[in-house]
Amino acid sequence: MISKSRCKLLAMLALVLVIMVLYSISREDRYIELFYFPIPEKEEPCLQGEAERKASKLFGNYSRDQPIFLRLKDYFWVKTPSAYELPYGTKGSEDLLLRVLAITSYSIPENLQSLKCCRCVVVGNGHRLRNSSLGEAIDKYDMVIRLNNAPVAGYEGDVGSKTTMRLFYPESAHFNPKVENNPDTLLVLVAFKAMDFHWIETILSDKKRVRKGFWKQPPLIWDVNPKQIRILNPFFMEIAADKLLSLPMQQPRKIKQKPTTGLLAITLALHLCDMVHIAGFGYPDAHNRKQTIHYYEQITLKSMAGSGHNVSQEALAIKRMLEIGAVKNLTYF
């Protein structure tokens, strides 16, 4: 009797285990179906205005009338101050900004403006890109948007070599921008504080360099053509914070939560492109402290402590984009 009871118990446990495994696989299949779209064999049709239509579910009745980059004429003639300070507006930084806009540009390259339908990929810096072999596919997009100082040299097979636009802030500027970018790459400054405008002005005008006011020393010599520099409109930081993360625009100085450059880049792409794909996004699980977060260096999730970024909340925002089809993912998320 004891032997039969044990057999029955083992059989029941085995049955439960099989059901759990099948359920887990089923959930994983649905997860991958929602959040992972391998590169198709045939080129996916690009529908003009598709990203805008789908993104309206995230941002409401948002408009593409907002300029992508800040323009001198909007500040030189218009005296209405911004409602918010950096990074969500330019209130209090107008004088610095005027000097920067006088020596930079705001245009979008003609070859991109003339496209009937613009296909974009935002390349994140996540470890999922390592050994992905996505380089060739990434280079086929009309616009390739990269982040901060993420390298391409030596990683071309996984991340490609084309860079149309690179978002950065002073502390994340690559010390030799000509190594990791193409000659025509637009270098887009994301200003988090007034000192960021001061830094770019001293670099481009060859004035006395700024050494204080940064959490990490930015380059003091930065060999770039001013015609490549653009200043991102803080509007995109504002709506990323407000619509995607529900962050208040006015925060205590000690808190200062803000979107990551990656989420900001996706927000920008949804306003600029007709098709938006992403690759290399997502962080390791919180308990996995040894997993690296970038494809090119050995830092872990511990480095995000005190950054002011809520990676869990951003993951939910990106999953929402994937669920409604506003973006598609080329790597697992």
Q: Sort 211 into a burial class: Cβ within 10 Å, 0-12 / 13-18 / 19+.
A: exposed
Which is more confident, 41 or 259? 259
What tens digit of pLDDT does each residue of 140-152 get?
999 999 999 999 9
- pTM, 2 dp: 0.86
Dihedrals phi, psi of 229, to nearest 5 degrees: -85, 135
Burial class of residue 283, CB neighbours in 10 A (0-12, 13-18, 19+): buried
Read off the amino acid at residue 260.
T
Flag whether pLDDT at 311 surpasses 80: yes
| Secondary structure element (H or E) that encloses residue 157, with its range | helix 156-159
* Mean pLDDT, residues 283-298: 78
Q: Is it the case that residue 18 has pLDDT exceeding 60? A: no
Pairing of strands 275-279, 229-231: unpaired
Distance CA 259, CA 250 (A): 14
Q: What is the pLDDT of residue 27?
A: 37
> Can you spell out the DSSP letters for 42-74?
SPPPP-TTHHHHHHHHHHSS--TTS-SB--HHH
R_g (Cα) of the chain, nearest Å: 23
Element (H, E) at 15: helix 2-35
Note the pLDDT tens digit of each residue in 97-113.
999 999 999 999 999 99
In this prediction, residue 87 carries a pLDDT of 94
Strand order, beta sheet including 143-147: 229-231, 186-189, 165-168, 143-147, 119-123, 275-279, 328-329
HSE toward the beta carbon, residue 48, CA cutoff 13 A? 5
pLDDT digits (tens, 9 = 90+) for 147-170: 999 999 999 999 999 999 999 999
- Containing H/E element for 275? strand 275-279
- pLDDT > 90: percent of the chain: 65
Q: What is the pLDDT of the chain when averaged over all its residues?
A: 86
Which residues, listed in sequence order, are joined to residue 119 by a DSSP beta bridge? 275
Residue 11, class by beta-carbon neighbours within 10 Å (0-12 exposed, 13-18 middle, 19+ buried)? exposed
Class for the domain spanning 38-329: alpha beta
Helix (H), strand (E) at residue 145 = strand 143-147
53-65 average pLDDT score: 81
Write down the domain spans for the chain.
Answer: 38-329
pLDDT at 75: 78
8 Å CB contact between 119 and 275: yes
β partners of residue 123: 279
Which helix (H) or strand (E) segment is 316 a member of? helix 311-324
